[in-house]
Structure 1
Amino acid sequence: MPVNVNVSGDNRKLYIKLLLSTILCTILTLLVSSTIYFVNYRNINLNQVYQTDLENLTQTSREVISMTESAQSLTFQLYRNGNISKLMFYENPDIYDTTAAMRELNNYLNSMPYIASIYVYNPKASYVYIASSPGQNGLMTKDELVDKDILNVLDHFQEFKPFVPIPRTYLKNASSTQKSNVYTYLCYDAIGNDNALNSAVIVNITTDWINKDIGKQQGNEASSSFIIDSKGSTLTGKLPNDAEALTAESAITKQIMSNRGSGYFIDKVGGKKSLISFTAPDSLEWRYIRITPYQTITEKINKIRTTTIYIGISILVAGLLVSWHLSRKLYVPIDRIVTRMKSLESDKRNSLFTLKQDVLRKLLQGQEPITAKKMREKRSELGISFDFQSDYRLILLRIDGFQPFLHRHQDDLHVYKYAIMNISSEIVSQAYQVETVDLGNDCIVLLMNVRTAPLDADQSMLLALLKQIQKAVGELLKISISVTYSPLSSQPQDLIPMHRRIIEASEHRLFLGPGCLISAADHQYPETDDYLFTVEKEKKLIDALMAGKVAEAKKLYSCIIEETRPYPISVFQATLSRLTITLNGVLHTILKNNSLDIPISMQLSKNALAKLETIEEIEAVVFELFDDLKKRLDDKRSMKQDDLIRKINDMIEQHCGNPNLCLNWIADEMDMSPIYLSRVYKQNTMNAVVDVINNMRMNRAKDLLKHSDLPIADIAERIGYTNSSYFYRMFKKNYGVTPTDYRKTGLEPGNQASP
């Protein structure tokens, strides 16, 4: 049967750690060993390439030296040849000697295919004797000679060592633009006091033979090979694309010239990382150089490295997948042991922390004796190292805005308070021995043993640490806290009174606001300080509310509350309680006098106000109640005036035909002052009562004139006019026509024809 194991998050992390440790060790071993092998193989490969290059370049050097020796041997043979020597030492040899000598020269030329041409030079003769194929051949005067550069060499022969190749370029013949690249071997006779040139033999060997040897590379067509002389100048060979990088003044050339032996190094040539191999100077003081792209050399090794990385990744992925399925079964015993150990540790830690908190809480509340031997032993067992015999003080931390905070984080309250305790303990422990106690609700107490320090230094350090606690809790937990600290004491019996004192002093947060720092020593009030409640201001407050003067009532309420600031907090609480009872009575009376309902929201609750933390919050609740009362009274007053206007209009409409209908008659009927009635009506309708009565009567007169045959006198009487003449005057005044004309024409008033 398969084994089902419930793996906790912590144990799952343990499996992952074991798994990753094993796999990562394997991968790390593979990568480290592969890296070591890669570096060694690369160095071995570079050394092998260098050895191969050195062997090829050395072979080329030997061939060049051999060719030089051949040129030297040929020159000596030419000097010893009787026919050719006549050309060198006779000013005007006969035709037979010349022909025989030229035949000998051509024979030497044909027997050595790498020789481009042979010159025999006699400064006293009129001709230069040339054996060449192709190109100029035969007897040439200096003016006819195409290879003018050889004359310059002969004129400065002292500057050249015999049998040291001179790289040159010259035209093959006058009719061609094709140039020939050759190495010139110069042998001359300059015996005499004046050290003048007596004769010379010049052997020109084509550079193609040397370049052909230099180009013999084993499997690396991307390489470049060339020769530099003792001055660092490039003589011949296949130059890289960036030829400027290989001048005599370039860093690469200087590095080669600074080393008298052979060797190699890695540098950039033409923008590419390359291996540069070079030989030691040979007998000609020449060095043979080969440049090979680094990528070409290490291509296969790089493929091996890439393959190794892929193998490592594959092992990692495969190991993760396989171990993921097998880890649970493999580590079932470990899972059980770890789970059990963590459970025991958690139970022990929680139990110890709970017991420790309970003991400290009882000490502060006076439920346990501090100096009793049994209690001292109990504190020692629980790891409470606080010393009540040394200087100590209490710090009270209170969470600001606790009720809203509790509403949002009720389930996590203990976690937040535990975090505050840890942060505070961590900060304060830098300078003090500290114990933390959760007192419930919004309170946390720190018991601090003061270390040896001057009083003023201790005070400044304390304030700095308390501000640091407020800042850290605010930044990390987004919680504002108020802090109250007690004075120093070294007497165990002062603990309980000190605790009560900081609790009372912390209530002054009401006046100081959230995030305040309170010294309990600043709020010690002698019993002789008696507070006298200002009854006169209370009476003025009541009168202002009764008169509807809300702004004045607010000022008086704030003034009464502010007067309690310099006194113990109990004075404020008693004053707040009295004002609450007084205001509830006044509000009840005002609402009752105005026939308004008394809702629950219009009553102040002492318990609700007691939970508020600042004076601003308390005043906000009370002032909102004042504003609500004023709004209700204003609405009531507006409603009464609307009812009054409606009643007046109804009376005018119902009694329009009553001759006695007037402002005074309406006022008498409603038992009100005519002046007040007229003012209210005018303010709300913008019309006078008399004008409304006349308009009502005129409208009814028009209607009767249109739709009835009643005499005009009857119509006047029906609408409330006892005098028909007065009716005539009023009708014509309002409409511009008499009632008779209006009935005859049937025109609306204001639309009659002009006379």
Structure 2
Amino acid sequence: MSNFKKHHKLHSKLLISITLCITLTLLVSTTVYYFYYIRVEKEQAFEANHSSLALRSREVINMTSIAQSLAFQMYRSSTLSKLLYYPKPNVYDETAAMSELNNYLNSMPYIESIYVYNPKSDTFYIASSRGQNGLFSKKELADTDIIRVLDHYQDYKPFTPIPRTYPLLSASDSVAGADQASTDITAYTYLCYDAINSNEAMNSAVIVNVSATWMNKEMATNPTSGGTAYILDDQGRLLSGATLADESLNEKEQLWLHTRVKKQETGYFVEDFHGKRSLISYTSQDGLGWQYISVTPYESVIKMASVIRNAMLLIAVVIALAGFVASWLLSRMLYTPIGQIVVHMNSLESEKRNSMYTIRQNILRNIIRGVHLLPAGEEPERLRELGITFQFDKDYRLVLLRIDEYARWQSERGPDLLPYKFAMMNIASEICGQTYQVEAVDIDEDSVLLMLNILDPAEHTDTVLLETLLRQIREACLEYLKLSISLTYSAIASQSERLHLLYRQVQEASMHRFFQGHGCIIDAQNTIEAHAQNAYVYASEKEKKLLDTLLSGHTEDAHGMFKDLLMHMEKYSFSVVQVAISRLMMSVNHAIQHMSERNGFAPESIPELPSAYQLETAQELIEQYQLVFDHVRSSLLEKRNTKQERLVRQINERIEQAYADPDFCLNQIAEELDMSPIYVSRLYKQQTMSTIVDVIQQLRIRKACELLEQTDWSVADVAEQTGFASSSYFHRMFKRSLGVTPTDFRRSKANAQ
């Protein structure tokens, strides 16, 4: 009874200690995971917010480019220029100009309205999708905020969007309009103006109002994290992403906005916002000087981590309670002396030491490799004692099973690979056991050898049954072990002294897996006999052609030649093929190294060149060299593109220098570069999307505009100074490019001043 109590206390303490350790480990791991998940979830929320904000930034910048192009196009329009510069345009000009404005508005659904302002007539010409349309004076204008913007236009950067809100209709409109006057329009306003004069007074202005509703599709609330977006514009205002209204901030919020967000690189932090703990994500300044901010409630960020923490704590409590109860119950039963367990373990260890399996495998390996020879027609007594029943003096054949992709399996499985080989031996013995007397031997690291005693005389002339069984072995290993194997079978022999010769033949034939691929079944006798009839002569001429093609930069053709040259070796003995493959790879590797040194490739950028001994199949070798050839091709292409960019820059510099020469043309440029005019023209257009002739013409027109505006030279003198052969040709080209004659252009500029 005292012995029972003794063991009862021992096991009770043991189980309680284990339970406490498990519970404590769970609590510690829960704490660690909780803080880790919080960090991960903050990173995920930041990445989601940052992606949304960056998308919005790109949209605003793209819209800025569109608005800028539209404004420039309107300034170049001869119809709209009359509204911009004429003090009193006639009704027909106004009608045509308003029609053109409405065409712009209808073709661009994201534009809320377009204003054309003429300070000389103090008139706004408005085309709008809703609200005021037509001609309005400042007093009649509902959008009074735009007057403030125009009066202080120097405060705004050119073509930087101005987020603002303005009323749909003025209060003085009709009753129906007054009912709608409470509706405000939120828009991003783009201001384009002409203020080229001595007092910097505005001569004209084009205002494009882009709908904030259209641009805020991705802005207001991030559906992934529940964050609310804000804009910190170039004026230092924090605006709501949805309404563009100024956001009111307390002193603490103003402080972190100016010290931790404004003009800082992209990042995030946790801080109070409007009285609620929040995750503040922000971007760095974009090209407009704007920053985008997302505010996500911190509770929603860590919601999942809190759920996991509570669940783990509950599990820890349940485990602790269950462990204490189990300790009390099991301690009453587990009182068997530890000594009995030790005795049983010693017995198992003794049985393991006395096992004959290892000895039997070693003896069979020595016999197969020819280290130990058996007397012909005699079965030694020791073999029977070890349980080896294979009859060496009867008809037999060998089957070699090789594990495919052995290096990968060895790195992934390590010591666990040995049970897989035992499983292979069991599967093969089970499938072949009903037809043959089987002995399975673990012969090499990646190989298992089957020794099959022939029971059916038909085997001497027909291998259909054998190959069917080998396919079953292959499919079973693939299905149950997820292991691909290649199989090689020998001819039939009946002398024990031929065993090791037959093994060498099978081993040599199995090397042709290199050409036939993983999962192949190889007839060793046919393979060896076929190869013995072919005397191999190394294809030196093909190798030279391959290297010349590779060095000339035609990597795709070189890869095809490499593949053909490699696969041509399939019909020869593999011992000879190995030497040929090594020579071929060494030559190709030297050629690649030479190309790298000649073209100045960085040594670390060259992929590691493969070795034939590291790869099991020709296809793997071909694919590895495909990667190397592709890298060489991309490196050559990158270097070629750099050379072309340098050539385009050289052409542009030459155009800038010689545009005033009437005889300057494409042929002269090509002659100076010692190149074909057709090649120079095609290359320049591919790189710049413009022809050289057009670029020369545009530069001459631009220079002529400067001289017409800044000097009092005659039109003929301007034409001569800018490279035009005659004043009539200059007159025709100028009008075709700008829509006005040189004289009219000079007069319009003089009137504007």
Please report the TM-score for the alignment, with normalisation by the length of structure 2. 0.51
For 2:648 and 2:659, the matched residues in 1 are separated by 16
From 432, 439, 448, the counterpart of 1:435: 439
- Superposition map of 1:188-207 within 5 A: none
Matching of residue 634 in structure 1 with residue 637 in structure 2: yes
Identity of aligned residues (%): 38
For 2:725 and 2:466, the matched residues in 1 are separated by 99
- Residues 636-692 of structure 1 show CA distances to partners (whole Å, capped at 9, x for unaligned) of 323322221122113323444466644344345444444432332234334332331
1:685 maps to: 688
For 1:374 and 1:599, the matched residues in 2 are separated by 63
Q: In structure 2, do the counterparts of structure 1 residues 323 and 391 end up closer, same or farther at CA, with 3 Å as the change threshold?
A: farther
- Residue 531 of structure 1 and its aligned partner are, at CA, apart by 1.5
SS in 2 for 1:532: coil
From 655, 659, 670, the counterpart of 1:652: 655
Q: In structure 2, do the counterparts of structure 1 residues 688 and 365 end up closer, same or farther at CA, with 3 Å as the change threshold?
A: same
From 497, 502, 507, the counterpart of 2:506: 502
2:547 maps to: 542
Q: In structure 2, do the counterparts of structure 1 residues 729 and 332 end up closer, same or farther at CA, with 3 Å as the change threshold?
A: closer
Q: In structure 2, do the counterparts of structure 1 residues 415 and 367 end up closer, same or farther at CA, with 3 Å as the change threshold?
A: same
From 673, 694, 698, the counterpart of 2:697: 694
CA contact (8 A) 1:587 1:602 kept: no
2:746 maps to: 743
Q: In structure 2, do the counterparts of structure 1 residues 529 and 433 end up closer, same or farther at CA, with 3 Å as the change threshold?
A: same
Kindly report structure 1 stretches of 4+ aligned residues shifted beyond 6 Å. 320-323, 372-375, 722-726
For 2:499 and 2:535, the matched residues in 1 are separated by 27
Q: In structure 2, do the counterparts of structure 1 residues 329 and 736 end up closer, same or farther at CA, with 3 Å as the change threshold?
A: closer
What code does the residue aligned with 2:566 have? I
For 1:742 and 1:464, the matched residues in 2 are separated by 92
1:616 maps to: 619
For 1:659 and 1:460, the matched residues in 2 are separated by 88
For 1:725 and 1:430, the matched residues in 2 are separated by 104
CA contact (8 A) 1:612 1:618 kept: yes
For 2:515 and 2:482, the matched residues in 1 are separated by 23
For 1:332 and 1:741, the matched residues in 2 are separated by 113
SS in 1 for 2:488: strand
CA contact (8 A) 2:510 2:522 kept: yes
1:469 maps to: 473
From 476, 484, 488, the counterpart of 1:484: 488
SS in 2 for 1:563: helix
- Residue 693 of structure 1 and its aligned partner are, at CA, apart by 1.5
Q: In structure 2, do the counterparts of structure 1 residues 469 and 725 end up closer, same or farther at CA, with 3 Å as the change threshold?
A: closer
What code does the residue aligned with 1:636 have? K
CA contact (8 A) 1:580 1:604 kept: no
- Residues 560-612 of structure 1 show CA distances to partners (whole Å, capped at 9, x for unaligned) of 2332222212243233223212322333444445444455644633x3x3333
SS in 1 for 2:442: strand
- Superposition map of 1:21-36 within 5 A: none
For 2:333 and 2:387, the matched residues in 1 are separated by 40
Matching of residue 578 in structure 1 with residue 583 in structure 2: yes
For 2:682 and 2:669, the matched residues in 1 are separated by 14
SS in 2 for 1:564: helix
1:313 maps to: none
Q: In structure 2, do the counterparts of structure 1 residues 488 and 739 end up closer, same or farther at CA, with 3 Å as the change threshold?
A: same
Structure 2: 5+ residue runs without aligned partners? 15-325
1:116 maps to: none
CA contact (8 A) 2:700 2:722 kept: yes
Matching of residue 569 in structure 1 with residue 565 in structure 2: no
For 2:678 and 2:469, the matched residues in 1 are separated by 74
SS in 2 for 1:398: strand
- Superposition map of 1:262-277 within 5 A: none
1:298 maps to: none
SS in 2 for 1:430: coil
CA contact (8 A) 2:376 2:495 kept: no
Q: In structure 2, do the counterparts of structure 1 residues 747 and 547 end up closer, same or farther at CA, with 3 Å as the change threshold?
A: farther
2:523 maps to: 519
Q: In structure 2, do the counterparts of structure 1 residues 430 and 737 end up closer, same or farther at CA, with 3 Å as the change threshold?
A: closer
What code does the residue aligned with 2:582 have? S
What code does the residue aligned with 2:449 have? V
Q: In structure 2, do the counterparts of structure 1 residues 329 and 655 end up closer, same or farther at CA, with 3 Å as the change threshold?
A: same
Q: In structure 2, do the counterparts of structure 1 residues 366 and 745 end up closer, same or farther at CA, with 3 Å as the change threshold?
A: same
CA RMSD of aligned residues (A): 3.9
For 2:504 and 2:389, the matched residues in 1 are separated by 23
SS in 2 for 1:397: strand
What code does the residue aligned with 2:427 have? I
For 2:336 and 2:634, the matched residues in 1 are separated by 77
For 2:361 and 2:494, the matched residues in 1 are separated by 22
Structure 1: 5+ residue runs without aligned partners? 9-319
CA contact (8 A) 1:398 1:482 kept: yes
2:534 maps to: 529
- Residue 5 of structure 1 and its aligned partner are, at CA, apart by 7.2
Q: In structure 2, do the counterparts of structure 1 residues 458 and 708 end up closer, same or farther at CA, with 3 Å as the change threshold?
A: closer
- Residue 718 of structure 1 and its aligned partner are, at CA, apart by 4.9
SS in 1 for 2:538: coil
For 1:340 and 1:382, the matched residues in 2 are separated by 24
CA contact (8 A) 2:378 2:393 kept: no
Q: In structure 2, do the counterparts of structure 1 residues 709 and 378 end up closer, same or farther at CA, with 3 Å as the change threshold?
A: farther
From 381, 396, 401, the counterpart of 1:397: 401
Q: In structure 2, do the counterparts of structure 1 residues 733 and 405 end up closer, same or farther at CA, with 3 Å as the change threshold?
A: same
Matching of residue 335 in structure 1 with residue 341 in structure 2: yes
Q: In structure 2, do the counterparts of structure 1 residues 456 and 376 end up closer, same or farther at CA, with 3 Å as the change threshold?
A: closer
Q: In structure 2, do the counterparts of structure 1 residues 346 and 700 end up closer, same or farther at CA, with 3 Å as the change threshold?
A: same
CA contact (8 A) 2:735 2:741 kept: yes
For 2:588 and 2:461, the matched residues in 1 are separated by 50
- Residue 743 of structure 1 and its aligned partner are, at CA, apart by 1.6
From 320, 326, 331, the counterpart of 1:325: 331
- Residues 700-749 of structure 1 show CA distances to partners (whole Å, capped at 9, x for unaligned) of 2212322445565664565456876765565456445443432223289x
- Residues 10-31 of structure 1 show CA distances to partners (whole Å, capped at 9, x for unaligned) of xxxxxxxxxxxxxxxxxxxxxx
What code does the residue aligned with 2:564 have? C
Q: Which has the larger radius of gyration?
A: 1
CA contact (8 A) 1:561 1:575 kept: no
- Superposition map of 1:724-735 within 5 A: 727=730, 730-732=733-735, 734-735=737-738
Please report the TM-score for the alignment, with normalisation by the length of structure 1. 0.51
What code does the residue aligned with 1:404 have? R
1:69 maps to: none
For 1:336 and 1:470, the matched residues in 2 are separated by 43
2:558 maps to: 553
1:23 maps to: none
Deviates more, 1:702-711 or 1:571-580: 702-711
- Superposition map of 1:78-157 within 5 A: none
- Residue 331 of structure 1 and its aligned partner are, at CA, apart by 6.0
- Superposition map of 1:202-351 within 5 A: 324-330=330-336, 332=338, 334-349=340-355
- Residue 495 of structure 1 and its aligned partner are, at CA, apart by 1.8
SS in 2 for 1:435: strand
SS in 2 for 1:444: strand
What code does the residue aligned with 2:362 have? D
- Residue 443 of structure 1 and its aligned partner are, at CA, apart by 0.7
Greater RCO (Cα-Cα under 8 Å, separation 6 or more): 2
- Residue 696 of structure 1 and its aligned partner are, at CA, apart by 0.5
CA contact (8 A) 2:377 2:393 kept: no
What code does the residue aligned with 1:572 have? V
CA contact (8 A) 1:400 1:482 kept: yes
For 2:370 and 2:460, the matched residues in 1 are separated by 31
For 1:406 and 1:370, the matched residues in 2 are separated by 35
- Residues 92-122 of structure 1 show CA distances to partners (whole Å, capped at 9, x for unaligned) of xxxxxxxxxxxxxxxxxxxxxxxxxxxxxxx
From 411, 414, 420, the counterpart of 2:415: 411
For 2:338 and 2:727, the matched residues in 1 are separated by 119
What code does the residue aligned with 1:329 have? Y
1:604 maps to: 609
Q: In structure 2, do the counterparts of structure 1 residues 364 and 713 end up closer, same or farther at CA, with 3 Å as the change threshold?
A: same
Q: In structure 2, do the counterparts of structure 1 residues 355 and 709 end up closer, same or farther at CA, with 3 Å as the change threshold?
A: farther
